[in-house]
Amino acid sequence: MMEAATLAAISSIRHGFFTRIGGVSTDLYDSLNCGPGSDDERGAVIANRARCAKALGVDAGSLVTLHQEHTADVVTVTAPWTMDDAPVADGLVTNQPGIALAVLAADCTPVLFADPTARVIGAAHAGWKGALTGVVENTIAAMTKLGAIRDTIQVAVGPCIGAASYEVGPEFSARFLDRDPRNAKYFKPSSNKGHSYFDVGGFTADRAAAAGVASVDRIDADTYIEEQNFYSYRRSCHRDEPDYGRQLSGIALVP
């Protein structure tokens, strides 16, 4: 797994942006696929998630994920739920030690949050839609309801599809420019007329910074290009593959 330097320096938490390496899945899902929404063998997904839970210092049953649908909705976790009982949302927060909050991604941006003073943590799945509609800001707001202070929250933005790999059409960029013309800085023209490349990781990181947090750390890795390390939804589409794996990113408070 990969770690952000700022979060790694906090002794009261464990966190990790897991890659696709180190699991038991095979074929398309080789090897640490943690996505129950994939067509991978369920037993392999459960085993892979248990490995991530162990690395985060919790029992397998204390690692919680969501039924992600690219929303800006955030839930507060007071007790673990099962993989099959996951609520529909794209962000989650807690102040309970021993619970690992986790999100799944395969090009979208995983974001982890920690207030080491208040002992409140969060995690968010920020695809372009969630990032645009406020999943990062909503996660921070949910943390403050548990006692976190904005200017002591540290944020880490994990591996996602890179700015040089994410080509989008004019209708896509129009959504962002209609919201704020200053969003033009996240788009660079491509050789395909009317199209451009979008920096979803940079956009997400800047949304966190604008929310007034203490720091924003970013892991510079491109899930589309780095096939040996990451699953990629877009890469699988370009190859006309039937499915793809999901990598897990998680954070837990040390009891």
| Residue 78, number of CB atoms within 10 A of its CB | 9
Reading across the β-sheet that carries 187-189, which strands appear in turn? 167-168, 196-198, 187-189
Which residue's entry shows tokens 């209609």?
178
What's residue 7's pLDDT? 98
Q: Contact at 8 Å (CB) between 21 and 27?
A: no
Q: Nearest CA to 161 among 243, 227, 112?
A: 227
Question: How do residues 83-118 score in pLDDT, each as one tens digit?
Answer: 999 999 999 999 999 999 999 999 999 999 999 999
Q: Would you tell me how many other CB atoms lie within 10 Å of the CB of residue 149?
A: 15
Q: Is the dihedral of CA 194, 177, 155, 49 positive or negative?
A: negative
Find the helix packing angle between 135-145 and 200-210, rounded to 10°.
30
Return the pLDDT at 255: 87
| pLDDT tens profile 121-172 | 999 999 999 999 999 999 999 999 999 999 999 999 999 999 999 999 999 9
Report how far residue 55's alpha carbon sits from residue 171's, in angstroms, rounded to the nearest whole number.
Answer: 41
Q: Are strands 154-157 and 74-76 parallel, antiparallel or unpaired?
A: unpaired
**pLDDT tens digit sequence for 3-17:** 999 999 999 999 999
Q: Domains of the chain (ranges plus CATH)? A: 5-162+199-253 (3.60.140.10)
Residue 189's CB is within 10 A of a number of other CB atoms, namely 10
| C-alpha angle 71-75-81 in degrees, rounded to nearest 5 | 115
Is 201:163 a contact under the CB 8 Å cutoff? yes
**pLDDT tens digits along 184-241:** 999 999 999 999 999 999 999 999 999 999 999 999 999 999 999 999 999 999 999 9
Residue whose tokens read 């490349």 = 197
